[in-house]
Structure 1
Amino acid sequence: MSEVTMRFNKTELRDFIEIHDIQRDIGNNRSISIDHAPRIGVNIQQQTIDAKYIKVDFSIWSKDRNTLKHKLAGIFNVDSPKELTFSDEPDKYYLAMVIDDISMQEASGRRSNGSIKFIIPDGVAHSSAYKRFDSDKNATREAGKMVFDLINNGTESAFPIVKVKHNAENGYIGLVNQNGTLEIGNREEADTEPSQKSEILLDFRGEKITNGLAIAAKNQAITNDRTEYIVGTAEMINLWERPHVRLKDLRGETKLHNYATSLTWSIPNDSTGSTGSLHDYFWWRQVFWSEANNQYGFIKVTVSDETGQFLYGVETFKRSLGSECEFNFLAGDGQGGYRILKRWNFDGTTTGDINPFNVAKGWSDLKRNDGKIQVFYQGSYSTFIIPEIEGKKSAKIHITIGAYRDNPIVSHMYLDELYYRKDFVPTTNDIPNRFPIGSNVLINSEDDTVYIDDIAKANEIVDGSQWLSIPPGKSKLELYFSSFIKKHPTVTIEFEERWL
């Protein structure tokens, strides 16, 4: 079998070992619990399937065998299962780690023979590519539901990833197949309560952020700090395959003030012609990543009222030497000043998970219901009651990107996306639904998570639901939606096939 090669944890081993034999047994060991039947035979109480094991016989050849052994020991020294692939199964991988000793026998010359035993805790081989089914090609539509015809060529059940992009308002998603039922939202959610609905009045998601920059009023922001020197220039930049808005440059005359640029959007009239709002929801994505400890700067997302007074908002701020940054929730105090109601700290000099505004993440949202504000940070929500803003309508949304005096500016401070939704619009018959037009729902049975517009929403799962699996062979998966939905969403289903 010398032509077969092995790859473990992204390391190709063809340059280190020569494979002579691979022992991949048929299926896995089964443990069966029984008790005796009254007269003849036994009753099966339970069957469990154990982990999978793979044994690889190999040899190494080197003038310095001990150095090579140490290198191999480092490659196999992992604390959790990693991807294991063989060249004779290019369409499959295993999640494996080494078990038992890797014993070696010194042969003639510079060759040593040995064997490696891998344990595959989940007991299966996975397909290297996801199988995909699209609603446009693989589903039939009936009143209130969508039916997928699925094929799983594996020998074990697969765990689907379901992506739903809404083409109309919806409040409920139900998934049903022979293995279980999973419900998201509220099956009884109505769409016709008097005088309430949601309207997306500003939408600068994705590439549309360029339009947001074009139509925004420049350098007219109202923030918590009236001393900011907002005269800079905002420009577009493309990094990481997406557009961003940033502060173009840092001028040198701002030793005593914070030099900044800003974008302002008036909240448009709703469908009834009403201006302003007491019920806001806006979502945005930003990047805040400092490449050096001596860089400073801020991004502010703020809301002002009809009289031009600061109401509430958040700021992401690096104001000190080091790596510590702040994410502050602010609100007006009713006397022309402001209060910091909550401060979170994070490390802004890394792109890792401890920075919520790294390149791969950066999503956040604010929701207002008159004097109550809900703030999202790092996967959870905090709620604040602010009597000082009760009854004061939101009129404008502001984004301010700035430097801290004349210090070096944070390398990556960008606005990527933003959309604004007005809730509880009067004199209409539509109510705000969980899933507005354009919203995206991700239901992932691989890791048991639900995301709505990239924000975790486990609380939307209906009690008693079961995470779905796709049985081997041909099967059907039905999706149900709210009775009032006007157009079915676009749905994709993906899963890895699995084999014993």
Structure 2
Amino acid sequence: MAFSVKFNDVDLSTIVDGFTAITRNIGAGWTNTVQPNPIIGADFTQNSINSKSITVNFIANVKLDRFTSVRKALASALNVKQPAALIFDDDPNQVWWAVPDGTPTLDESSFYQAVGSITFLVPSGVSESVETNVLNASNSGGQLGTITNNSDGSVDIEINNTGNLETFPTIEITNVHENGYIAIAGKNGAIEIGNRQEADGVVKPESEYLYDSKYDTSFTKFKDVAAGTVNPQNNWLATNGKLEFQTDGLRLKDKGTVGSCWWYESNDFTSRFKRSCWSS
């Protein structure tokens, strides 16, 4: 079985006749930042992971028009505008997000076979897992971590990171009861969603009714607004509109009329001009 190198979902082993070497080295290299120490040496400030280069060497056997077809097929497979998945047969669970770097080579000077090389640049410098590990109630307490439900309703989650770099989990929360507030607290911060005071203790799994006419068949609870009543939020808005029960539910029958207004100058120092309105 031929060794497989896949790039951007293309198996390069179907284009060439074999891979003779792969240079991945160890890690991606590090850049260390220091500042001079006034007494001796230097003080360490920080370090960072560099980008990474991976070189693949291959062979192409002599066949009719073989070199031409290899050049065209590889050029097409390597033509990407952004990092694409690079996966090696001996480490299929790891993906390197890479782009071709420099000029791929193809030496056709040999009578028996051509040799070539492709260099890939991995901007992040690291690989990622192809598979996603999921920690849930069924595997809690295993190698992925532990979920503990506390008596006060809170949940403690301890996640085991099986990689060698820091990572950020994706958390999915499904409420099994009414809950207007969710908070997630971690080592380096917290996030809150909703209202802490939403704790009425009343379970309402379905939408609440705006109005139920079952016990008010004549709609007596709907009252006309008295003439001259000003909208408490905005006196430019009407307050004497009407609702009507139609075949598909309550609908706005009449939006009402807006009262007349005039402006006058005020001397109470609260505003330069004031407005007075009434409804008809």
* Residues 106 and 182 of structure 1, relative CA distance in 2, 3 Å threshold: farther
**1:22 aligns to what?**
22
**1:75 aligns to what?**
77
Task: Find the aligned partners of 1:77 and 1:88 in 2 and give their Cα distance.
Answer: 24
Instruction: Find out whether 1:49 has 2:49 as its counterpart.
Output: yes
Q: Deviations over 1:245-266 (max 9, x none)?
A: xxxxxxxxxxxxxxxxxxxxxx
Structure number having the greater strand percentage: 1
**1:92 aligns to what?**
94
Task: Find the aligned partners of 2:118 and 2:53 in 1 and give their Cα distance.
Answer: 10
- Secondary structure of 1:69's counterpart equals helix
**1:6 aligns to what?**
5
Instruction: Find out whether 1:169 has 2:168 as its counterpart.
Output: no
CA apart distance, 1:29: 1.8
**2:200 aligns to what?**
192
**1:153 aligns to what?**
162
Which protein, 1 or 2, shows the higher relative CO under an 8 Å CA cutoff with sep ≥ 6?
1
- Secondary structure of 1:164's counterpart equals coil
Runs of 4+ displaced beyond 3 Å = 196-199, 267-270, 272-276, 309-312
Task: Find the aligned partners of 1:23 and 1:127 in 2 and give their Cα distance.
Answer: 20
Task: Find the aligned partners of 1:124 and 1:273 in 2 and give their Cα distance.
Answer: 67
Q: Deviations over 1:324-376 (max 9, x none)?
A: xxxxxxxx7x47xxxxxxxxxxxxxxxxxxxxxxxxxxxxxxxxxxxxxxxxx
Kindly indicate whether the alpha-carbon contact (under 8 Å) linking 1:19 and 1:56 is maintained by their aligned counterparts in 2: yes
Amino acid in the other structure paired with 1:78: V
Task: Find the aligned partners of 2:171 and 2:81 in 1 and give their Cα distance.
Answer: 30
* Residues 37 and 187 of structure 1, relative CA distance in 2, 3 Å threshold: farther
Task: Find the aligned partners of 1:87 and 1:58 in 2 and give their Cα distance.
Answer: 15
Q: Deviations over 1:386-440 (max 9, x none)?
A: x57xxxxxxxxxxxxxxxxxxxxxxxxxxxxxxxxxxxxxxxxxxxxxxxxxxxx
- Secondary structure of 2:74's counterpart equals helix
Kindly indicate whether the alpha-carbon contact (under 8 Å) linking 1:52 and 1:121 is maintained by their aligned counterparts in 2: yes
Task: Find the aligned partners of 1:191 and 1:12 in 2 and give their Cα distance.
Answer: 57
Task: Find the aligned partners of 1:91 and 1:128 in 2 and give their Cα distance.
Answer: 5
Give identity over the alignment, percent: 23
Summarize the alignment of residues 245-264 of structure 1 with structure 2, pairs less than 5 Å apart: none
- Secondary structure of 1:57's counterpart equals strand
* Residues 199 and 56 of structure 1, relative CA distance in 2, 3 Å threshold: same
Kindly indicate whether the alpha-carbon contact (under 8 Å) linking 1:30 and 1:47 is maintained by their aligned counterparts in 2: yes
Task: Find the aligned partners of 2:45 and 2:200 in 1 and give their Cα distance.
Answer: 52
Kindly indicate whether the alpha-carbon contact (under 8 Å) linking 2:3 and 2:19 is maintained by their aligned counterparts in 1: yes
Kindly indicate whether the alpha-carbon contact (under 8 Å) linking 2:178 and 2:204 is maintained by their aligned counterparts in 1: no
Task: Report which stretch shifted further, 61-70 or 28-37.
Answer: 61-70
Match among 103, 124, 132 for residue 122 of structure 1: 124
Summarize the alignment of residues 86-485 of structure 1 with structure 2, pairs less than 5 Å apart: 86-109=88-111, 111-138=113-140, 139-142=147-150, 143-178=152-187, 180-186=188-194, 188-192=196-200, 200-201=206-207, 306-308=245-247, 334=253
Amino acid in the other structure paired with 2:169: P
- Secondary structure of 1:14's counterpart equals helix
Task: Find the aligned partners of 1:39 and 1:174 in 2 and give their Cα distance.
Answer: 49
Kindly indicate whether the alpha-carbon contact (under 8 Å) linking 1:172 and 1:183 is maintained by their aligned counterparts in 2: no
Task: Find the aligned partners of 2:244 and 2:64 in 1 and give their Cα distance.
Answer: 77
Larger Cα Rg: Structure 1 or Structure 2?
2
* Residues 274 and 309 of structure 1, relative CA distance in 2, 3 Å threshold: same
**1:63 aligns to what?**
64
Task: Find the aligned partners of 1:197 and 1:134 in 2 and give their Cα distance.
Answer: 25
Kindly indicate whether the alpha-carbon contact (under 8 Å) linking 2:178 and 2:203 is maintained by their aligned counterparts in 1: no
Task: Find the aligned partners of 1:273 and 1:130 in 2 and give their Cα distance.
Answer: 54
CA apart distance, 1:45: 2.1
Task: Find the aligned partners of 1:85 and 1:56 in 2 and give their Cα distance.
Answer: 12
Task: Find the aligned partners of 1:274 and 1:91 in 2 and give their Cα distance.
Answer: 65
Amino acid in the other structure paired with 2:68: N
| Count of matched residue positions in the alignment of Structure 1 and Structure 2 | 221
Q: Deviations over 1:91-148 (max 9, x none)?
A: 2111111111112211423622111111112221111211111035421111232122
Amino acid in the other structure paired with 1:63: L
Task: Find the aligned partners of 2:28 and 2:42 in 1 and give their Cα distance.
Answer: 22
CA apart distance, 1:187: 5.4
Task: Find the aligned partners of 1:124 and 1:15 in 2 and give their Cα distance.
Answer: 26
Kindly indicate whether the alpha-carbon contact (under 8 Å) linking 1:28 and 1:123 is maintained by their aligned counterparts in 2: yes
Amino acid in the other structure paired with 1:308: T
TM score, norm. by length of structure 2: 0.68
Kindly indicate whether the alpha-carbon contact (under 8 Å) linking 1:201 and 1:268 is maintained by their aligned counterparts in 2: no
CA apart distance, 1:177: 3.1
Kindly indicate whether the alpha-carbon contact (under 8 Å) linking 2:19 and 2:57 is maintained by their aligned counterparts in 1: yes
TM score, norm. by length of structure 1: 0.40
